[in-house]
Structure 1
Amino acid sequence: MDDEQNRQQEDWLNSRKNRLPSFTEVLSRRTRPPVDLFMFYIFLQREGAEDILDFWLDVQQHENLCRAYFKDVRKSGRTIKEDWPQYWEYARRRGSIYGTVVGLQPNAVKRSTTSTADMINDQEKNAMAHPADEKRGGLRSTTPGYEKDPDLDQPRSTTPFSLSGRTSALFNLKRASRAPTFIPRSAAISRMDLIASAERIFFRYLSPVGTVNSPENHEIYLPPALRIHTFPLSSTQEPKSQSDLNMMAHIPDMFHSQKEYCFRAMEQDAFPRFLRSKAFGNLTPVSALVRLVVGLILLWIGLAAGFALIFLDVQPKSKRFFLFIPFTFAILFLISHQYELDPILIFLGQSESTPFRMLTIREPYVKRLLLGRAIWVTTLVSIFVVALTLLFWAVPGHRL
């Protein structure tokens, strides 16, 4: 068995040498910079959409907490049916993502894993399949891509990555990265711990902004079919009535459909743009913009010096070859802005995480891709610099 696992691990590592990582691999922390989870979080933070990833990570931890609870129950010698009959009945009828842990039949597990796809209707699928079209729409509430939330004065976008109501990180300092919801396991996990975990997720991500007076309230977009409007339980009071006990049975699977929707939205929208940004370039937008400005200034200096040498008829003519110095830096910065790639940093094995802060490129396939693009950019820079320098050298001098 160990040999088989080692062989599968080796095959997986070999396959990774010739392809970009998948979104699942990034989320499971199996990739290295600059296409790891940390860099993806920074990418979303720059777009003001990191709450979606925070939600996914928090729900993942909530589900891990539920799995730990079920495993503790089984280790104690009791069955889930004996310990939590309401949840057992719910999972038996509706299916559950914890089917193998709680001892359900395989067909019950299968029902739970396919229920998410059934809950997302064609409208939501189209919204995820064409996120760019949604974002190109206006930011007004009268735009067809937006719907009015009856509880809020501001419109809600129909895609999780809309820029409505957000300020670009280029012009606004974002809050520090929050750690996902965490419950220290100093004692056995109880059902009240599960309620507390679900309660934090609801009030942090699903409760409309303004209804909860907390700086941690950052509502994410969900399609109407997946929204949860109320959380009837309380982590400070143990459920006693039959209706509360039945509601508590929903807690383990409560956010799984929403988590799957966010996964698909990130996978189809943000993740491809993240790969284009980090696997084919190594600059942040701010750094690329700075290079554009500096490149234009240096190009103006080079052109001004070149025309001065021509119209002053400076001798010897070979002095014009020194124009390659401003031309080299100007063209390098301009092409670096165009490709969002600095070849010098690539040759040093560096990529930007935040503006002008570097990290080492460790993903083998990404390193090869960037190296090839760096060679291409260097070739373009050399061609343009040689052409400009020879052009200004060949023009006859004429003193005005």
Structure 2
Amino acid sequence: MSSTGERNRLPTLFEVLSRRTLPPVDLFSFYIYMRDQQRSVDYLDFWLDVAQHISLCRHYVRELRRSVLISTPDLDKGSKRSSGAPEDLLGDEGFEMKSDDQRLSAFLRSEGTSDSPARRSMGDTLETPGTGRPSFMSSSALDPNTDSTSPGHTVTRNDLRASAEKILYTFLLRGAEREIVLPEVILQSISNAIEVEARDDPAIFDEAKDYVFQAMERDAFPGFLRAKALGNLVPPSATLRLIIGLLAMFGGFWAAFALIFLDIKPKSTRLWLVLPFSIGVYCLMAHQYSLDPIMGLIGISEYTLMSFTRVKEPFVRRLLSKRSLWILSLTILMVAALTCLYVFVPGKRL
């Protein structure tokens, strides 16, 4: 995870998805928000699965390059470039930019049909003779408990095809287990590429990935920032504070009118009204802004009901502290006004 100490702004969606942010605006918090509040976690899971598929493709190409170097140790740079395993594509760097992903896809498409030394060196591990594409995920390559980047783990071409099919069957086909809504032209393009053209390169998901990213950026991410960067409470917790606040205010007003109309002496007894008014106003303000000021000052944020995490993103920490101080000041002012009003009003026994 990259350092965020110099970021003097709120993070972008790409930074969150790339795991470059810290709680409470990290990827885990965004996942919880999409699941519990936005109710559209399938879109995020699709985006993450496509990103994982791209990583798997990169791993496969790196292994293919190593296979070429082992099987043809006397191969010079020029022959390697003509063999179907170009040095500028198969190097260990430069995969992070979108242009490199396009080059990766182009190489996988050509590698799938070429009779290059790289393909011959991999032998039968690239494709099981006579079987075509597997019908579903059958490899441990995408097992979350498997370290796909470990040297001892081998990624085969069937793993790439199974990964692409898993995404298609899980998210994109009509009636799929976790179907997401995408334009029909995008769905047909992906389905045709995987099932008819037998493609498994990352480019087949580009349009869908961009569409889902823009949808999350437009519809979900602004609400996520409001909830986590400007507040620290989840909706059930804010609702609980609303109930407590209303009950406390009702008790405060009931006690205040009782003291006035019973003309209880001395008047200093009415100062006890500060307790229900403080609780009531504090809870109502916390509900209104979805921000508990005390939690904000000590740097705690709630990601599920009664589950808390430390605020580690520096800019968000400062932002929450400023808003907490402002809410506390407003709370103190309102409590003081209410207390003074009911303390100094003349009593009249009924």
Give the TM-score range, shorter chain: 0.7 to 0.9
Give the distance between the partners of 1:329 and 1:260, measured in 2 at CA. 47
- Asked if residue 203 in structure 1 is aligned to residue 169 in structure 2, the reply is yes
Q: Evaluate the alpha carbon distance shift between residue 45 and residue 272 of structure 1 in structure 2; reply closer, same or farther with a 3 A threshold.
A: same
1:192 to 158, 163, 182: 158
Q: Map of 1:89-108 to 2, 5 A cutoff?
A: 97-99=101-103
Amino acid at match of 1:193: D
Match of 1:221 in 2: 181
Give the distance between the partners of 1:190 and 1:57, measured in 2 at CA. 21
Match of 1:23 in 2: 13
Using the TM superposition, give the Cα deviation of residue 358 of structure 1 relative to its aligned residue in structure 2, in angstroms. 1.0
Using the TM superposition, give the Cα deviation of residue 233 of structure 1 relative to its aligned residue in structure 2, in angstroms. 6.2
Give the distance between the partners of 2:298 and 2:291, measured in 1 at CA. 13
- Normalising by structure 2, we get a TM-score of 0.76
Look up the SS of the partner of 1:227 in the other structure.
helix
User: Which ranges of structure 2 fall in alignment gaps of 5 or more residues?
Assistant: 70-79, 90-98, 109-140
Amino acid at match of 2:161: I
- Asked if residue 307 in structure 1 is aligned to residue 307 in structure 2, the reply is no
Using the TM superposition, give the Cα deviation of residue 36 of structure 1 relative to its aligned residue in structure 2, in angstroms. 0.4
Amino acid at match of 1:305: A
- Asked if residue 44 in structure 1 is aligned to residue 34 in structure 2, the reply is yes
Give the distance between the partners of 1:57 and 1:305, measured in 2 at CA. 56
Aligned residues: 288
Look up the SS of the partner of 1:255 in the other structure.
helix
Using the TM superposition, give the Cα deviation of residue 268 of structure 1 relative to its aligned residue in structure 2, in angstroms. 2.1
Match of 1:73 in 2: 64
Give the distance between the partners of 2:20 and 2:233, measured in 1 at CA. 23
Using the TM superposition, give the Cα deviation of residue 371 of structure 1 relative to its aligned residue in structure 2, in angstroms. 0.4
Give the distance between the partners of 1:81 and 1:97, measured in 2 at CA. 20
Give the distance between the partners of 1:80 and 1:315, measured in 2 at CA. 97
Look up the SS of the partner of 1:353 in the other structure.
strand
Using the TM superposition, give the Cα deviation of residue 230 of structure 1 relative to its aligned residue in structure 2, in angstroms. 4.0
Give the distance between the partners of 2:292 and 2:320, measured in 1 at CA. 10
Q: Map of 1:1-400 to 2, 5 A cutoff?
A: 13=4, 15-16=6-7, 18-46=8-36, 47-77=38-68, 97-99=101-103, 181-182=142-143, 184=146, 185=148, 187-209=153-175, 217-228=177-188, 230=191, 247-400=197-350
Using the TM superposition, give the Cα deviation of residue 83 of structure 1 relative to its aligned residue in structure 2, in angstroms. 6.2
Give the distance between the partners of 2:55 and 2:257, measured in 1 at CA. 69
Using the TM superposition, give the Cα deviation of residue 310 of structure 1 relative to its aligned residue in structure 2, in angstroms. 0.4
Q: Evaluate the alpha carbon distance shift between residue 80 and residue 285 of structure 1 in structure 2; reply closer, same or farther with a 3 A threshold.
A: farther
Q: Evaluate the alpha carbon distance shift between residue 323 and residue 80 of structure 1 in structure 2; reply closer, same or farther with a 3 A threshold.
A: farther
Q: Evaluate the alpha carbon distance shift between residue 101 and residue 198 of structure 1 in structure 2; reply closer, same or farther with a 3 A threshold.
A: closer
Match of 2:93 in 1: none
Give the share of equivalent positions with the same residue, in percent: 43
Using the TM superposition, give the Cα deviation of residue 252 of structure 1 relative to its aligned residue in structure 2, in angstroms. 3.6
Give the distance between the partners of 2:63 and 2:81, measured in 1 at CA. 10
Contact kept in structure 1, 2:164 and 2:200, CA below 8 Å: no
Contact kept in structure 2, 1:58 and 1:181, CA below 8 Å: no
Give the distance between the partners of 1:50 and 1:354, measured in 2 at CA. 15
Look up the SS of the partner of 2:216 in the other structure.
helix
Look up the SS of the partner of 1:97 in the other structure.
helix
What does the per-residue CA deviation read over 1:193-216, in whole Å, with 9 as the maximum and x for residues that have no partner?
11110111111111222xx5xxxx
- Normalising by structure 1, we get a TM-score of 0.67
What does the per-residue CA deviation read over 1:295-332, in whole Å, with 9 as the maximum and x for residues that have no partner?
01110000000000000110111100110000000000
Using the TM superposition, give the Cα deviation of residue 249 of structure 1 relative to its aligned residue in structure 2, in angstroms. 3.5
Q: Evaluate the alpha carbon distance shift between residue 380 and residue 393 of structure 1 in structure 2; reply closer, same or farther with a 3 A threshold.
A: same
Contact kept in structure 2, 1:73 and 1:83, CA below 8 Å: no
Q: Which has the higher helix share?
A: 2
Q: Evaluate the alpha carbon distance shift between residue 181 and residue 187 of structure 1 in structure 2; reply closer, same or farther with a 3 A threshold.
A: closer
User: Which ranges of structure 1 fall in alignment gaps of 5 or more residues?
Assistant: 1-8, 89-94, 105-179, 235-243
If you compute each CA radius of gyration, which structure gives the higher value, 1 or 2? 2
Give the distance between the partners of 2:82 and 2:154, measured in 1 at CA. 19
